[in-house]
């Protein structure tokens, strides 16, 4: 009744208004060809400043006079004009424009005239996800782009690889450009994902060659939201709360009584001292996972304003994120502000823009669980406690006031008590990084005349890290570290600051002209030529200290009041300092030409010269290029009658791009081309200088990636089916890799350009509108698939036996793991002796020797390349998007196959040598005994525990997985509910990440990118709830 009354009142009001001003309220819906509402389309009264934007459903409401004309426009769609007349409801269908902007390196083109292989992800596809890192949100969205996150740390950096691993020691991550500014690819935790309008991935040489030495691994161009000219103020607020949980591994661990019985049988540990009856009555059964992990509570708020006048437009956003990690003491807090401004002169000859992003993030972590080569020391890594702490230890034995000089010895006397040290660490130690991030860019362009434009762009990426990690005085680890035990002051704090400033400047002169007969529109030849000059310089500065000796009375993390000075009588208290200063630079000139004939045929070429300081003078200059051609088949006369294809385009490209980052890191390997001497600590701590252990190699030169690409873009069946298919061949030559040398050099390796590898693959991105909703009451259903297959192969290695081994064992914890780079094989294949089972005669593990005979005593000569590596082959995602009435549903399943990991957790939980220390897997109940001869678990006293000396494949596990990566269900509030409120549109949603995972891998997270996975912090499952409101 009330609603009805409201409706009547509205109608009355509208009539009154109409009578008074001869104006009327026009409502309607703007939809796309598939029937889905277009969000954010502009509806403008032509010739005025009056305008509105559409809501999530594409609905709008505007006041206009009958003589007005309404202009409907949205990026990527063809603009439509409609006279108002007497209409009160104007529904408009916008068709996808072939003039949709295709983002390219230093310019943009259109879908018809682009020659490059690229994929784009709109901001809408990545907004409102419960994950704090934009890169993780992109996972599975782009065919051929591998994004894997091996850590559950909120905002953690991911492994990003486009079209396979193209380098071994050199950089393998794509170049990231945010609004024209190249940025540090490893610190996206401080970037607000909600600011993003689109993310474009340039894949082939035609797209990346213009970036020369930085484009070898692809380029990811992130464009943030900008205001639009001539659009009214739009205010948006989005809020989200989510909960993250650790996903339990599945190692079938013993409970307290189980492990006690095993200990009892082997007469060791606590179980060895108890009778069977006592074990049956044993009441304590501690779940150490609960003591180490928790449910993380996360919050996310975003507030943004966008508006545009005739000459200036702006976008401003403020974001706040607080994510708790599932591991105690971990989390990410981020506050960010963005301001983007665009402007133009009245005659539009001069255009300018600026983008400024400021963020502050606080990242709390448990240092030793996270790094790729993180430690496994049981006293430092709490994940080991979670998985392998003895369940018969009573958590209540942890002293309420922690440890002191009186009870500390008892703690360390029995190593199996290490879980209490983990608890103490949570209380008494911490590690955090505070990031300040500034990404700022400015650009301007001026049209000298109709043909020439001069453009300039400059930007900076500034990252400041403030690291703090501490062990309080009185912490168990501090007490034990003080040899005297009486020193209550032992305690360590490390602090460091670093500043990373990267500047880029790019000046270009651009020329574009049409040739041919007739008017400007009729001319069929379009030629474009651009010349660029680029200057890049980066400065890194860091300093830090470590103070040992803290006064518990005055110590506070990050503050120096509690520092105890170093005195002669006591060397326990001391401080050490460090400082570092590094510079990199790059100077390049490059040009591109592009020719188009009537939108049918196109050719383009790029040539770039780079000068790198990393190589000796003779090898300094690198020349890179690409050539590309396209044929728009659907533009041909013979296709005019064809109704199946709306667009069919064939692309071919070839090019060579370089890589100068010898050791991968941006500031790594800066002077490897020359032998250096370094200051060292000599005998009896005397200062000395020695020849650096890093052997200089003057022959170091560019690593080159040559890639060929053939692709098809298609839209067919009234654009219901859209997609693209690409095949490529990428060949890296003069690889940055270690060359083995004799140990008489004091080291076994030297950095060199060693060998060739190849990546070949195919990529398909396809989506299909199964059901098109022509109105709100129909179901709209789109299904999609992104997939790629990549195969890499080592073609040539400069080694006598065509093979270079890398030992992947770390900390001596996990069994030996060796990977090889071997000619004719995949990169980094595991190199191991095949495990074939258990010898029924004696319970010893059996392996295959090199001649194919079973052996109990394998040697290094029996190892073979296993054909397994941690590089994915098939990977991608699929899912559907559904709309019905005001509801919408999104799903995304991700899959990866072809990956293998050395499951260190499995090896550790099945290691009978650890029975004194760790909880073990109840799979050991299946161990060989004289009465249980046919089994997969060796005898507990098996004679050869060879997996610790010779690499075997016993614990190599495939981590192929299918993961329900993302699901979202939401509701758009109908116009009727938001009318007459200050809200123009609103929606609520519930979403989830990593809801389900299907895999053979028994650990928590099959997404791991490591060679050996042992006690790592796994990625969580996140469930979120949020709403978006526009005013």
Q: What is the smallest separation between the CB atom of 822 and another protein, expressed in angstroms? A: 12
Q: Is 812 in the site for another protein (CB under 8 A)?
A: yes
- Six-digit token string for 865: 């390349």
Name the maximum alpha-carbon separation found in the chain: 102
* Residue 267 makes contact with another protein by CB under 8 A: yes
Between 583 and 774, name the residue whose CB sits nearer to another protein: 583
Question: Strands, DSSP E only, in 472-566?
Answer: 492-515, 525-548
Phi and psi at residue 478, in whole multiples of 5°?
-75, -40
Question: Can you tell me the distance from the alpha carbon of 820 to that of 832, in angstroms, rounded to the nearest whole number?
Answer: 10
CB of 579: closest distance to another protein in angstroms? 10
Residue 456 interacting with another protein (CB under 8 A)? no
The reply to whether 572 sits near another protein by the rule CB under 8 A is yes
Q: Does 5 bind another protein (CB under 8 A)?
A: no
**Number of residues counted as binding another protein (CB under 8 A):** 98
CB atoms within 10 A of CB 18: 16
Closer residue to another protein (CB): 322 or 923: 923
Tell the smallest beta-carbon distance from residue 552 to another protein (Å).
Answer: 17
- What's the closest the beta carbon of residue 699 comes to another protein, in angstroms? 10
Which CB sits closer to another protein, 578 or 775?
578
Beta-strand relationship, 864-865 and 874-884: unpaired
CB closer to another protein, 345 vs 913: 913
Q: Which is nearer to another protein, 675 or 980 (CB)?
A: 675
* Minimum CB–partner distance for residue 695 and another protein (Å): 5
Rounded to a whole number of angstroms, the minimum distance from the CB of residue 354 to another protein is 22
Among 124, 280, 311, 409, binds another protein (CB under 8 A): 409
Smallest separation (angstroms) from another protein to the CB of 156:
29
Question: Could you tell me which stretch among 368-376, 532-540, 550-558, 879-887 binds another protein (CB under 8 A)?
Answer: 532-540
Q: Is the torsion defined by CA of 109, 110, 113, 116 positive or negative?
A: positive
Instruction: Assess 658 for contact with another protein (CB under 8 A).
Output: no
Q: How far apart are alpha carbons 346 and 872 in whole angstroms?
A: 53
**Residues 582-601, interacting with another protein (CB under 8 A):** 582-587
d(CA 962, CA 877): 9
Pick one of 125, 805, 925, 979: the residue that binds another protein (CB under 8 A): 805
Task: Name which of 153 and 482 has its Cβ closer to another protein.
Answer: 482
Nearer to another protein, 374 or 549 (CB): 549
Binding mask 225-264 for another protein (x = CB under 8 A): ----------------------------------------
Q: Which of residues 457-496 bind another protein (CB under 8 A)?
A: 480-484, 487, 490
User: For residue 626, which phi and psi values (nearest 5 degrees)?
Assistant: -155, 150
Q: Could you give the C-alpha distances from 931 to 107, 263, 406, 840, 934, in angstroms and in order?
A: 74, 20, 49, 10, 9
Taking alpha carbons only, the member of 806, 798, 802 closest to residue 822 is: 802
DSSP character string of 182-199 = EE-TT-GGGS-GGGEEEE
Minimum distance of another protein from residue 803's CB (angstroms): 8
In the structure encoding, which two tokens stand for residue 702, read together? 């560019």
> Which residue's CB is nearer to another protein, number 409 or number 450?
409
- Considering only the stretches 45-53, 426-434, 639-647, 795-803, report the one whose residues sit in contact with another protein under the rule CB under 8 A: 795-803
Choice from 303, 426, 456, 535 touching another protein (CB under 8 A): 535
State the virtual CA torsion across 695, 696, 698, 704 in degrees, nearest 10: 80
Q: Which is nearer to another protein, 133 or 909 (CB)?
A: 909
Q: Is the dihedral of CA 561, 565, 570, 574 positive or negative?
A: positive
Q: Which stretch binds another protein (CB under 8 A): 45-53, 153-161, 462-470, 794-802?
A: 794-802
Query: Shortest distance, CB of residue 766 to another protein, whole angstroms?
Result: 44
Distance CA 1024, CA 966 (A): 11
Nearest approach, Cβ of residue 670 and another protein (Å):
5
x/- map, 355-394, another protein, by CB under 8 A: ----------------------------------------
Query: Measuring CA to CA, how many Å separate 700 from each of 312, 537, 608, 672, 768?
Result: 50, 22, 20, 8, 49
Among 943, 958, 975, 995, the residue binding another protein under the rule CB under 8 A is 943
Binders of another protein among 617-636, rule CB under 8 A? 620
Is 799 among the residues that bind another protein (CB under 8 A)?
Answer: yes
Q: Is 800 in the site for another protein (CB under 8 A)?
A: yes
Question: Does position 536 bind another protein by CB under 8 A?
Answer: yes
Across the beta sheet with 69-73, the strand order is: 51-53, 42-45, 69-73, 80-83
Q: Could you tell me the smallest distance in angstroms from the CB atom of residue 459 to another protein? A: 16
Full 3-state SS string of 821-858: EECCCCCCEEEEECEEEECCCCCCEEEECCCCCEECCC
Contact in structure between 238 and 1027 (CB atoms under 8 Å): yes
Would you tell me how many other CB atoms lie within 10 Å of the CB of residue 257?
18
Residues 891/862, Cβ–Cβ less than 8 Å: no
Find, among 105, 786, 711, the residue nearest to 457 by Cα: 105
Buried b or exposed e, range 996-1005, using 16+ CB within 10 angstroms:
ebebebbbbb
Q: Which of residues 815-844 bind another protein (CB under 8 A)?
A: 816
Nearer to another protein, 77 or 403 (CB): 403
71, 81 contact by CB (below 8 A)? yes
Rounded to whole angstroms, how far apart are CA atoms 523 and 841?
86
Of residues 716-755, those binding another protein (CB under 8 A): 739-750
71 binds another protein (CB under 8 A): no
Closest approach of another protein to the CB of residue 752, in Å: 9
What is the residue whose two structure tokens read 């208004």?
17
Site track for another protein across 974-1003, x = CB under 8 A: ------------------------------
- Between CA 62 and CA 28 the distance in angstroms is 9
Q: Does position 766 bind another protein by CB under 8 A? A: no
CB of 841 to another protein, least distance (A): 13
Sequence-distant (6+) residues with CB within 8 A of 637 are none
Check residue 611 for interaction with another protein (CB under 8 A).
yes
10 Å CB burial of residue 838 (0-12, 13-18, 19+) is buried
Among positions 619, 944, 962, 988, the unique one binding another protein when judged by CB under 8 A? 944
Residue closer to another protein (CB basis): 134 or 950: 950
C-alpha 400/C-alpha 889 separation (Å) is: 49
Q: Minimum CB separation from another protein for residue 491, in Å? A: 12
Q: Which of 21, 801, 981, 996 binds another protein (CB under 8 A)?
A: 801
Q: Looking at residues 907 to 936 of the shown chain, list those that interact with another protein (rule: CB under 8 A).
A: 911-914, 916-918
* 158 vs 149: CA distance, rounded Å: 4
Contacts of 983 (CB under 8 A, 6+ apart): 973, 1029, 1030, 1031
**CB atoms < 10 A from the CB of 764, how many?**
18
| 274 is a contact residue toward another protein (CB under 8 A) | no
Q: How far is the CB of 797 from another protein (least distance, A)?
A: 11
Query: Residues 660 to 719: which contact another protein by CB under 8 A?
Result: 670-671, 674-691, 693, 695, 697
């Amino acid at each position: 009744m009330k609603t009805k009354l409201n409706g009547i009142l509205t109608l009355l009001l509208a009539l009154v208004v109409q009578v008074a001003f001869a104006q009327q309220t026009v409502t309607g819906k703007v939809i796309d060809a598939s029937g889905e509402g277009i969000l954010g389309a502009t509806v403008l009264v032509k010739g005025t400043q009056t305008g509105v934007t559409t809501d999530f459903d594409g609905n709008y409401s505007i006041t206009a006079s009958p003589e007005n004309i309404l202009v409907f426009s949205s990026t990527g769609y063809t603009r439509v004009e409609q006279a108002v007349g007497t209409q009160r409801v104007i529904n408009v269908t916008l068709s996808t424009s072939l003039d949709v902007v295709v983002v390219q390196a230093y310019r943009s083109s259109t879908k018809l005239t682009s020659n490059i292989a690229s994929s784009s992800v709109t901001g809408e596809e990545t907004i409102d996800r419960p994950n704090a890192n934009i890169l993780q949100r992109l996972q599975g969205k782009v065919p051929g782009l591998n994004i894997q996150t091996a850590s559950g740390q909120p905002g953690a950096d991911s492994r990003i690889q486009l079209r396979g691993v193209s380098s071994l020691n050199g950089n393998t991550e794509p170049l990231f450009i945010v609004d024209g500014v190249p940025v540090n690819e490893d610190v996206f935790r401080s970037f607000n994902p909600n600011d993003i309008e689109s993310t474009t991935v340039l894949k082939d040489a035609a797209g990346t060659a213009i970036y020369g030495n930085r484009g070898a691994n692809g380029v990811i161009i992130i464009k943030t939201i900008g205001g639009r000219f001539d659009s009214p103020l739009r205010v948006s607020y989005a809020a989200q709360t989510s909960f993250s949980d650790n996903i339990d591994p599945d190692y079938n661990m013993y409970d307290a009584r189980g492990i006690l019985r095993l200990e009892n049988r082997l007469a060791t540990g606590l179980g060895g001292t108890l009778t069977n009856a006592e074990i049956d009555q044993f009441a304590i059964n501690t779940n150490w996972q609960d003591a180490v992990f928790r449910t993380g509570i996360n919050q996310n708020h975003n507030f943004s304003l966008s508006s545009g006048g005739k000459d200036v437009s702006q976008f401003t956003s403020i974001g706040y994120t607080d994510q708790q990690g599932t591991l105690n003491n971990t989390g990410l807090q981020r506050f960010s502000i963005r301001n983007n401004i665009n402007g133009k002169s009245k005659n539009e000859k001069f255009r300018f823009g600026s983008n400024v992003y400021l963020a502050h993030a606080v990242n709390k972590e448990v240092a030793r669980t996270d790094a790729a080569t993180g430690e496994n020391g049981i006293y430092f890594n709490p994940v080991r406690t979670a998985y392998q702490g003895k369940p018969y230890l009573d958590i209540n034995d942890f002293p309420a006031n922690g440890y002191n000089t009186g009870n500390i010895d008892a703690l360390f006397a029995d190593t199996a008590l290490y879980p209490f040290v983990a608890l103490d660490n949570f209380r008494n130690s911490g590690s955090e990084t505070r990031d300040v991030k500034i990404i700022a860019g400015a650009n301007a362009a001026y049209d000298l005349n109709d043909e020439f434009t001069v453009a300039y762009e400059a930007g900076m990426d500034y990252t400041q890290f403030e690291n703090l990690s501490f062990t309080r005085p009185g912490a168990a680890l501090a007490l034990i570290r003080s040899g005297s035990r009486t020193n209550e002051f032992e305690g360590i704090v490390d602090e460091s600051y670093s500043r990373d400033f990267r500047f880029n400047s790019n000046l270009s002169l651009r020329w574009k002209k049409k040739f041919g007969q007739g008017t400007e529109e009729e001319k069929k030849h379009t030629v474009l030529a651009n010349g660029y000059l680029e200057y890049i310089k980066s400065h890194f500065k860091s300093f830090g200290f470590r103070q040992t000796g803290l006064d518990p009375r005055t110590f506070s993390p990050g503050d120096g009041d509690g520092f105890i000075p170093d005195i002669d009588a006591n060397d326990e208290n001391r401080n050490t300092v460090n400082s570092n200063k590094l510079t990199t630079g790059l100077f390049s000139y490059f040009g591109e030409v592009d020719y188009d004939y009537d939108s049918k045929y196109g050719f383009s070429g790029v040539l770039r010269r780079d000068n790198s300081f990393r190589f000796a003078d003779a090898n300094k200059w690198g020349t890179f290029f690409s050539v590309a051609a396209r044929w728009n088949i659907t533009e041909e006369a013979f296709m005019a009658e064809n109704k199946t294809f709306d667009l069919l385009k064939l692309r071919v490209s070839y090019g060579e791009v370089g890589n100068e980052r010898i050791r991968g890191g941006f500031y790594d390997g800066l002077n490897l081309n020359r032998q250096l001497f370094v200051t060292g600590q000599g005998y009896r701590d005397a200062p000395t200088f020695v020849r650096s252990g890093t052997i200089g190699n003057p022959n170091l030169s560019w690593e080159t990636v040559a890639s060929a690409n053939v692709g098809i873009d298609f839209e067919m069946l009234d654009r219901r089916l859209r997609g693209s298919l690409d095949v490529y061949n990428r060949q890296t030559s003069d690889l940055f890799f270690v060359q083995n040398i004799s140990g008489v050099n004091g080291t076994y390796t030297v950095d060199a350009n060693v060998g060739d590898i190849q990546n070949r693959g195919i990529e398909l991105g396809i989506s299909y509108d199964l059901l098109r909703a022509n109105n709100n009451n129909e179901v709209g259903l789109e299904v999609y698939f992104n997939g790629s297959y990549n195969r890499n192969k080592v073609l040539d290695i400069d080694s006598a036996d065509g093979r270079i081994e890398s030992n992947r064992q770390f900390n001596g914890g996990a069994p030996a793991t060796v990977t090889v780079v071997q000619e004719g094989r995949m990169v980094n294949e595991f190199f191991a002796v095949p495990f074939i089972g258990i010898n029924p005669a004696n319970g010893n593990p059996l392996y295959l020797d090199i001649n194919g005979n079973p052996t109990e005593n394998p040697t290094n000569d029996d190892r073979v390349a296993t054909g397994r590596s941690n590089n994915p082959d098939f990977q991608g995602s699929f899912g559907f998007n559904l709309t019905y009435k005001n509801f919408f549903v999104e799903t995304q399943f991700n899959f990866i196959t072809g990956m293998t990991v050395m499951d260190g957790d499995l090896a550790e939980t099945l290691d009978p040598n650890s029975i004194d220390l760790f909880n073990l897997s109840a799979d050991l109940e299946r161990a060989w005994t004289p009465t249980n001869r046919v089994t997969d678990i060796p005898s507990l006293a098996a004679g050869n525990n060879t997996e610790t000396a010779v690499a075997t494949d016993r614990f190599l596990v495939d981590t192929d997985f299918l993961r329900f990566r993302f699901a979202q269900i939401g509701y758009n509030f109908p116009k009727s509910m938001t009318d007459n409120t200050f809200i123009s549109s609103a929606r609520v949603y519930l979403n989830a990440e990593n809801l389900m995972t299907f895999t053979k891998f028994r650990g928590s997270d099959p997404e791991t990118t490591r060679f050996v996975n042992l006690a790592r912090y796994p990625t969580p499952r996140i469930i979120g709830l949020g709403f978006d409101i526009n005013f």
